[in-house]
Chain A
Amino acid sequence: MIAFLFKRLVWGLLVLIAVAVITFFLSRVVPADPAAFLAGQNASEETVQRIRVEHGLDRPLPEQFATYMIGLAEGDLGESIRTRRSVSTDLKQYLPATLELLIVSFVLYLAVSFSLAVLAARRPGGAVDGAIRLITMIGTGIPVFWLGMTLQFFFFYKLHWLPLGARFPIRETAPPVISGFLLVDSLLAGSLSAFRASLKHLTLPAATIVVNLLAVGTRLSRAALIQEQSRLYVRTARGKGLSPNRILFKHILRNALSPILTATTMQFGYMISWVILVEVIFDWPGIGLYAYQSFQVFDYSPVIALAIVSTAGFVIINLVMDLLYPVIDPRVQSVGS
């Protein structure tokens, strides 16, 4: 078990290093000069040069790379030219927003796809199954930005039910930052109205992510459920006189969990990449929007940091899932073997 964990951690580290190296060189081959960008159109050559020197951009590439990697090893993700702060400081500010959106979307995604799958698997090939398949497919077929904008159009411009974007109403004061999760912090501050406001802001971005992933998620869960339904232990359960609901919830679901978990892990990867796009659409102040804004001015470090952080997220999720398998399925002795 320990050996397995160690192996996976080393492996995860290697992946992270690889991602850092690749994104570093990718960002450097872009033929743009962030210093010039930052200095503005009317800046003198001296100013631009000064900024270059300040950020080490005048150094030869191998040296820049070495400096960057050494910094990384010490946990230093570099500096943002745009915000003039260390990337780590920026991340501390923006990461909770992303995590909150990600977690809410993920829970919603699990709940909705699972419920739909249960409904669909009741009678495979039936009308309900067909309707669910059609609707979720449409949801996935719509491009994310278009979906996001359509939702904004209806729920903001037309119905005035939900805000256009951001995490919290500009004119109101947000609860004091404790966890960084507004839903949690507003409850900690004892403010139900702040909680409701945060929830409203979360709704559209989360819905956009969930709708986009629903078709695949539902299909995978449905397939897992249908496969489990035909297993012999289900016949045994019927033979014991159990009700269909009991058979579904006590026997089938538990067994369908492993395949669903596998599928979900993969979905989580997609979710991380959609979050970035959705943050841009909904002006959601998370690391996606942060990296996007940095990218626009060729400010590299935040972009590389985003790549590293999201890869780390994916590595961690994979590890957690691997640790969960033996808990869910006693036949999986040790994940290491």
Chain B
Amino acid sequence: MLKLHNLSKVYRSDEVETVALNSINIEIEQGEFVAIMGPSGCGKSTLLNIVGMLDSPSSGEYIFMDEDVAGYSEAQLSEIRKHNIGFIFQSFNLIDELTVEENIELALLYHNIPASERKARVAKVMDKVGIAHRASHMPSQLSGGQQQRVAVARAVVGDQAMILADEPTGNLDSAHGQEVMEMLQSLNEEGTTIVMVTHSPAHADYARRTINLFDGHVVTENLRAAE
């Protein structure tokens, strides 16, 4: 599905130069469930942002579905991202002024999909993640777990082939964390590629493969035998 080759990311501020990713080589196949782990500041989020085309690498190649997108413009990246990648964030990033339903619909709003179809698809995913009875609530009226379920719904409603999740359970207690993980797992079983950053080894166990980062380098890659 995607391939990073000698990819680096360097942040330059006035004086300091931070190498967040240092010549990384990673390959991720269609339908994989990959967990990324590593100490704080090792470059996990940076990696995820680049994979998600929210950020561009400083050097190296990024082949996404047989296209080298490393040098693409923001508008081109936005176009690819929109159709292929969904996001789940640690802090949910729901919009406070919109209802649950509207928050989910947002992911379809920029896809030229007629309103009636949007409604139908939103209703379907809401059922799937079990949030339908809260459709017209505001995010502030939901628990953290419920909010993250809305975020998951928003990430999958567009039928994207890949979901990127940056510490999706970081703000949740273990019960709610479990819930979200199970949801991701079932999505993966339906064929969605999932790349997830996590600090929890237990949650990493849901993934087929774990990539350990340290200081911008890939240290190990563990493959877990299918059960």
B and A form one assembly: no
